[in-house]
Structure 1
Amino acid sequence: MTLIPTLRPAVTDVTARITARSAATRAAYLNRMRAAEEEGPARTHLSCSGQAHAYAGAGPDQAALAGASGGNLGIVTAYNDMLSAHRPFETYPALIRDAARAAGGSAQVAGGVPAMCDGVTQGAAGMELSLFSRDVIAMAAAVALSHNVFDAALFLGVCDKIVPGLVIAAQAFGHLPAVFVPAGPMISGLPNDEKAKVRQRFAKGEIDRTALMAAEMAAYHGPGTCTFYGTANSNQMLMELMGLHLPGASFVNPGTDLRSALTQAATRRALEITALGQAYTPTYRILDERAFVNGIVGLMATGGSTNHLIHLVAMARAGGIQIEWQDFSDLSAVTPLIARVYPNGLADVNHFHAAGGLAYVIGELLGAGLLHPDTETVVGPGLDRYTREPKLIGDELVWHDGPGDSVNRQILRPVIDPFQTSGGLKKLSGSLGEAVIKVSAVAPEHHVVEAPIRVFSGQKAVKAAFKAGEFTSDTIVVVRFQGPRANGMPELHSLTPLLSILQGQGLKVALVTDGRMSGASGKVPAAIHVCPEALDGGPIARLRDGDLVRLDAVTGRLDILTPGVLDRAPAMADLSAHQAGVGRELFGAFRAHVGAATAGASVFFGGGDED
């Protein structure tokens, strides 16, 4: 494979406009980071008493810490043993401390961050805390690192909001090097398509809950990330494309010798890139405009999660970089879809990894001029380092060239013979506002839906109407008052089986919502993240049952066809039930101050002019 020396014009153009748009905010951020960098290792500025407090529990590492003779790593961990993806992290701190000690440094657990699972809270009240947990994670990680006794950070996290929150925090401490350390996916269980069929049968009433539970347990059966290509595994892809993982680290299964060797290698590398050494690589130099463009291209090429049209915006803004949905749409238009991983295909991430994985994907995209090749990474300059994959030869961890060809073209294809010529994520705009849609798993005949609407203010009402047999003709289901200000913008993924059944019956159906759909967005067209949201009086708040709406993923339009709708007063909703219970009362300030989905739905970055 011959690398093309020049980038495609669309990649260059999008990068240039992001850079221009971000000039003031990026400059302000860089000034802060360089000022922190010039102060040197933070431990040297602490009082003797402060240092003694920080080292009192360090045991055999006390002398090294007091002498400042080696780098000290701060471990920020999302470990808990309720979530399969984070269960493996229980043993990481001891492994990391031993590896750091052997390399002449030290490591301390700086702090823990919460890690919740959208799969557990799906369709329940707890889901209304999910998106806000990202910003809580960022703040918790900032508290962990605020003691200023660390020369670099190791971030242990995998799932949906955890990695974006940790990236936001890593950029707040962007003068420190940061290496992200994954846990890997669980081994394959019941195939995802079989699990989906069981869920549909349960929704139809054909099987009981015992049978449903048996299928779910067969699918989610051990430590590690869920094996479908949702937000969690999209996170891992991003960390490689953006240069924060060791090459090939994302999809190595937990509990293997290779997984342990990669964690030890991440520890050694973090020590090598501190300001105490000769290869100082602070995070702010890695996460520039080019890195975020690379991440977006990777998202499009692999059919990744729609949640990242929110998360990547917030992650970028933490470093003063302003990304807009149009940037995603324009990059999607020129990026071929070269991976089919469930829900966009039958394979899971283990099959994807075996077929060539990210080493193959990155090689193909670099060769096609779709990625910036000259970015900084935690292993040195140049993204071509990520076309290599790790091997454990005896006790030695080495990197070999990745596959030049796909092992299975039902899962991975070359850029010249893609599954689709575009990435499948698209911005929608029109009289109904702005929204996004993922069509990589949607059949072409469903890319355009024009139908009367049914309006609901929550998932339960949609499910009740379905059970009552009320959907008998082509219908666009509108679920509103699901935006960040209304109730924290929960995912509505539990509607997928119902809408899929209606589509399977030959009806034209679609979903339009100011909520989220999730990284598991499937074969039903869904215009999600609608802005302005209903609580802000957006057009979605003016709709009524029977209005005609057109969702057109081909032209990128989302329009109200019924005359006079925008002249109506916006509907009001009783949201009192969403203000308290399951901790929701503690998040009132978040709901009051959160920005729009277009700005990352963050309490930190509400608009485009922040410093």
Structure 2
Amino acid sequence: MTVHARIGEITERIAKRSHDDRSRYLDRLTVLSEKGPRRSRLACGNLAHGFAACGTSDKEALKGDVAANLGIITAYNDMLSAHQPYETYPEIIRAAAREVGAVAQVAGGVPAMCDGVTQGQTGMELSLFSRDVIAMSAAVGLSHDMFDAAVYLGICDKIVPGLVIAALSFGHLPAVFVPGGPMTTGLPNDEKARIRQLYAEGKVGRKELLESESASYHGPGTCTFYGTANSNQMLMEIMGLHLPGATFVNPNTPLRDALTKEAAKRALAISASGNEYTPVGRVIDEKAIVNGVIGLHATGGSTNHTMHLVAMAKAAGIRLTWDDFSDLSDVTPLVARVYPNGMADVNHFQAAGGMGYLIRTLLDEKLLHNDVKTVWGTPLEGYTVEPKLTDEGAVEWKPAAATSADEKVLRPASNPFQATGGLKVLKGNLGKSVIKTSAVKPERQVVEAPAVVFHSQDDMLAAFKRGELERDFVAVVRFQGPKANGMPELHKLTPSLGVLQDRGFKVALVTDGRMSGASGKIPAAIHVSPEACDGGPIGKVRNGDLIRLDAVAGTLEVLVDATEWAARTPVTEDLSANEWGIGRDLFASFRRVVGRAEDGASVF
């Protein structure tokens, strides 16, 4: 099965660009792989510490150095809906391991914060940095060197990318990612958005808003809109790190638990002590990364992955750029409409055919690399299935439907919603940025209007409440990049900008910060790089400058005379207020060394 010629060309150029880094990575992986499981070389005192708390049978198994030991890295906490279901997973995994004569231990926990809780709050300034903290925390857990393979329990925004980075730093170990699944459908997302806008206009109160939000976010599991959390899960499956069809099965169901059990057994089967050794560092290669980018474009996924995928690829010695994103977008059709790109939620996507159908239709049009390694042991076409429970409670995989059950939600790649992908890279004299086009109506993808400059989202919201923004304008919200304040999401601006757009004004957002993975109907050029704090040209913009955002042409320009523009000096800002409170003082070193958004916004 061949791949689309242009996709093949882009993959090849990524491989050439990455050759030296990838070769060094694979050489290190080979050295560690050849040494085999390290447990046998631990001193007796080290080993005794490692299994001291085990039960008798597990202790005896580990003493004999024959049984495989499965490490569990968990992002469990019981405050966050997406991670609460993981509470019961370790015991399910331990029981599954014992069934095949192996042992499983929780190797370590990692933090899991929720952007939904911190949205618009000070804590959001730790959000992006938590990804790299998670990677380091997982590495600490695995550093005991007691394990033959690992399973990773994480689902939301920064957690999965951080876990992938950690898994790839231990690339000689097989790794299976185990999802928790989405919560059941609650209040429709469009109704939730309507109430938010009414609240922004002062037409409903906090009581009505809270009732709406509680009816939307109402139980265990991920939020049902297609933001970063659910984009993460799509990526893990299309990149071959989930079991087939595991992604969007609801929590606390017999199928969900059965899939968790199978994931544990599969991780052990592909360990070096089995016959199908599959280290994760060889699963994630250039083709798998390209498949991930295509999946993101085809589904209109989260803008956050223009940073996360770059950082994840780098951990495997692969150099992915925003130009690669842009060029792959040009040949990838949009085949899914899930809120905010449509009215459906991920449960509707699953019912329409889910990941099995998505992968099938993209493979049919030669838009994915089929010849990849997966944890399932098959080429990617092995994922064109869906899991079912037998009468005995076992999992069996059946071929995915050949047609979509609802083409308003999920279409064949031969008849897409639009011919190009859901994300676009913009370039111009303001630097580089990204925009999510799949949720923006075509007539709103080009905005030319005067700039109104703000140095915080609170300042913009205050101007809105004072009635100062009743006109066409481009909001320039700067000093929101990783060096400035950790690059918080600015989704809090969406309702107010939505109100103004609905009133007939041409509005857009330009920022060196982030928007939510649920970036919606407002044209928003985000992740502007270099950021203002790094001397980027966004720091030169003045109130009244004419800005043209053209998502069709892929440009972002300030329409100022070139000589005048070149003579301007970027403004500076006193950022001392960002340096303390709610843990921000602990991340000062991160802000100093963090890279640019287009390079993954990483401290590594």
State the TM-score, normalizing by the size of structure 1. 0.98
Query: Which amino acid is the alignment partner of residue 490 of structure 1?
Result: P
| Counterpart pick for 1:121 among 106, 118, 121 | 118
Q: Write the mapping of 1:86-105 to structure 2, written as runs, cut at 5 A.
A: 86-105=83-102
In structure 1, C-alpha distance between the alignment counterparts of 2:261 and 2:500, rounded to whole Å: 50
Aligned to 1:599: 599
| Counterpart pick for 1:539 among 523, 526, 537 | 537
| Residue 30, structure 1, aligned to residue 26, structure 2 | yes
Residue deviations 1:131-154 (CA, integer Å, cap 9, x gap): 000000000000000000000000
In structure 2, C-alpha distance between the alignment counterparts of 1:186 and 1:161, rounded to whole Å: 19
Q: Write the mapping of 1:193-232 to structure 2, written as runs, cut at 5 A.
A: 193-232=190-229
Query: Which amino acid is the alignment partner of residue 21 of structure 1?
Result: R
| Residue 71, structure 1, aligned to residue 68, structure 2 | yes
Indicate conservation of the 8 Å contact 1:480/1:514, yes or no. Answer: yes
| Counterpart pick for 1:336 among 333, 337, 340 | 333
| Counterpart pick for 2:317 among 316, 320, 323 | 320
In structure 2, C-alpha distance between the alignment counterparts of 1:223 and 1:32, rounded to whole Å: 40
Deviation at 1:572, TM superposition (A): 1.1
Query: Which amino acid is the alignment partner of residue 600 of structure 1?
Result: G
In structure 1, C-alpha distance between the alignment counterparts of 2:508 and 2:50, rounded to whole Å: 56
| Counterpart pick for 2:134 among 137, 159, 162 | 137
Q: Write the mapping of 1:139-538 to structure 2, written as runs, cut at 5 A.
A: 139-394=136-391, 395-538=393-536
Indicate conservation of the 8 Å contact 1:436/1:527, yes or no. Answer: yes
Indicate conservation of the 8 Å contact 2:299/2:422, yes or no. Answer: no
Aligned to 1:608: none
Indicate conservation of the 8 Å contact 1:425/1:440, yes or no. Answer: yes
In structure 2, C-alpha distance between the alignment counterparts of 1:456 and 1:78, rounded to whole Å: 36
In structure 2, C-alpha distance between the alignment counterparts of 1:197 and 1:472, rounded to whole Å: 20
5+ residue gaps, structure 2, are none
Indicate conservation of the 8 Å contact 2:269/2:275, yes or no. Answer: yes
SS at match of 1:22: helix
- Runs of 4+ in structure 1 deviating by more than 2 angstroms, as ranges, are none
SS at match of 2:330: helix
Aligned to 1:12: 8
Residue deviations 1:540-562 (CA, integer Å, cap 9, x gap): 00111001111111111111102
Query: Which amino acid is the alignment partner of residue 402 of structure 2?
Result: G
Deviation at 1:424, TM superposition (A): 2.3
Residue deviations 1:444-473 (CA, integer Å, cap 9, x gap): 111111110000001000000000001122
Deviation at 1:513, TM superposition (A): 0.3
Deviation at 1:29, TM superposition (A): 0.6
SS at match of 2:104: strand
Deviation at 1:428, TM superposition (A): 0.6
Residue deviations 1:83-118 (CA, integer Å, cap 9, x gap): 000000001111110110111101000000000000
- Give me the identity figure in percent: 63
Aligned to 2:42: 46
Coordinate RMSD, CA, aligned? 0.7
Residue deviations 1:406-437 (CA, integer Å, cap 9, x gap): 00011011111110111121111111111111
Aligned to 1:609: none
Aligned to 1:607: none
SS at match of 1:334: coil
Aligned to 1:581: 581
In structure 1, C-alpha distance between the alignment counterparts of 2:16 and 2:64, rounded to whole Å: 45
Deviation at 1:566, TM superposition (A): 3.3
In structure 2, C-alpha distance between the alignment counterparts of 1:162 and 1:294, rounded to whole Å: 20
Query: Which amino acid is the alignment partner of residue 22 of structure 2?
Result: R
In structure 2, C-alpha distance between the alignment counterparts of 1:94 and 1:271, rounded to whole Å: 16
In structure 1, C-alpha distance between the alignment counterparts of 2:66 and 2:19, rounded to whole Å: 39
Query: Which amino acid is the alignment partner of residue 360 of structure 1?
Result: Y
Deviation at 1:523, TM superposition (A): 0.8
Deviation at 1:6, TM superposition (A): 2.1
Query: Which amino acid is the alignment partner of residue 301 of structure 2?
Result: G
SS at match of 1:338: coil
Indicate conservation of the 8 Å contact 1:338/1:415, yes or no. Answer: yes
Indicate conservation of the 8 Å contact 1:542/1:566, yes or no. Answer: no
SS at match of 1:6: coil
SS at match of 1:116: coil
In structure 1, C-alpha distance between the alignment counterparts of 2:442 and 2:235, rounded to whole Å: 28
Residue deviations 1:333-359 (CA, integer Å, cap 9, x gap): 111100000000000000100010110
Query: Which amino acid is the alignment partner of residue 41 of structure 1?
Result: P
Indicate conservation of the 8 Å contact 1:539/1:566, yes or no. Answer: no
Deviation at 1:48, TM superposition (A): 1.2
Deviation at 1:381, TM superposition (A): 2.9
Indicate conservation of the 8 Å contact 1:131/1:489, yes or no. Answer: yes
In structure 1, C-alpha distance between the alignment counterparts of 2:288 and 2:303, rounded to whole Å: 19
Tell which deviates more after alignment, 147-156 or 57-66: 57-66
In structure 1, C-alpha distance between the alignment counterparts of 2:511 and 2:566, rounded to whole Å: 17
